Amino acid sequence: MYKPLQVKVFRFNPESDVAPKFDDFEVPVFDNMAVLDVVIYIQNYLDRSLSFRFSCRIGMCGSCAMYVNGRARLACRTQVSSLKTRDITIMPLPNFPIIRDLVVDMEPFFDKWKKIKPYYVPKRELDEPVTVQPNSNEREFIDDMLDCISCGCCYSACSMVATNKDYLGPAALNRAYTLIADKRDAIRVERLKVVDRSYGVWRCHTQFNCAEVCPKNIVPTRSIQNLKRRCVLKKFGIFK
């Protein structure tokens, strides 16, 4: 029989609570238990009023991101055993407004996505499809960066986002890179202008906080550095 988990959960309802608090729960452990199972157990058996967000349970949707034991993680992909402790503290993602308990408002995050126009715009003058060789370095690099599930972990870990509300953040910049690096895209230069601003790529200080917490092992810092390089090439008139 495993020793039960001692779980501290952040509780706050901005509509009725004056200040946030932590509730303590004792949760039994079972094999291969994930942090998502912990909060589901609490909601099912201990406190039905606990609010959190989840959907796919397999690390695909990015909706169950939480701040677990001092680090942003996907609750469904974080095994309790990997935390190496029976004491678990669960909080909502930092850098986001709190809606209730562990549920955060993703609106500011997606507002920044909208700024970089996160959709592919095809070139109209092309008659033939542009070929990007499957074995080219560029193709492989973009492929890695396309794995983003917009969970917000990188955004919550970024200290620049914490200090500057206008900074676009790692996820939006990473998305911008995947489009700007795509030669088929028609508005690459326009997109580059959006990120070539004080609150764009130039606020990144390559601290790699985003890469540290990304559940998909993406390195947004690398994308941002590549964007900076392209901004410089644009100034030299080399980027087309």
Instruction: Name, in order, each residue with C-beta under 8 angstroms of 168's C-beta and a sequence gap of 6 or more.
Output: 112, 115, 116, 176, 195, 199, 200, 203
69 is a contact residue toward other proteins (CB under 8 A): no
Q: What's the one-letter identity of residue 153?
A: C
Q: CA 115, CA 195: separation in Å to the nearest integer?
A: 9
C-alpha distance across the termini of the chain, in Å:
64
Work out which of 163, 193, 206, 207 binds other proteins, going by CB under 8 A.
163
* CB atoms inside a 10 Å sphere around CB 112: 23
Work out which of 197, 208, 212, 216 binds other proteins, going by CB under 8 A.
197
Measured from the CB atom, the residue of 181 and 231 that comes closer to other proteins is 231
HSE-CB at 36 with a 13 A cutoff on CA atoms is 18
110 is a contact residue toward other proteins (CB under 8 A): no
Measured from the CB atom, the residue of 21 and 165 that comes closer to other proteins is 165
Work out which of 21, 183, 193, 205 binds other proteins, going by CB under 8 A.
205
180 is a contact residue toward other proteins (CB under 8 A): no
> Are 185 and 235 a contacting pair, CB within 8 Å?
no
231 is a contact residue toward other proteins (CB under 8 A): yes
164 is a contact residue toward other proteins (CB under 8 A): yes
Measured from the CB atom, the residue of 115 and 228 that comes closer to other proteins is 228
Residue where the block lists tokens 């790529």:
201
207 is a contact residue toward other proteins (CB under 8 A): no
> Are 192 and 231 a contacting pair, CB within 8 Å?
yes
Q: How far is the CB of 72 from other proteins (least distance, A)?
A: 20
Stretch that binds other proteins, among 21-29, 108-116, 198-206, 212-220 (CB under 8 A): 198-206
Work out which of 165, 190, 206, 207 binds other proteins, going by CB under 8 A.
165
Q: CA 125, CA 157: separation in Å to the nearest integer?
A: 41
225 is a contact residue toward other proteins (CB under 8 A): no
> Are 224 and 204 a contacting pair, CB within 8 Å?
yes
Q: How far is the CB of 145 from other proteins (least distance, A)?
A: 22
- Residues making contact with other proteins (CB under 8 A): 160, 163-166, 196-198, 202-203, 205, 228, 231-232, 234-235
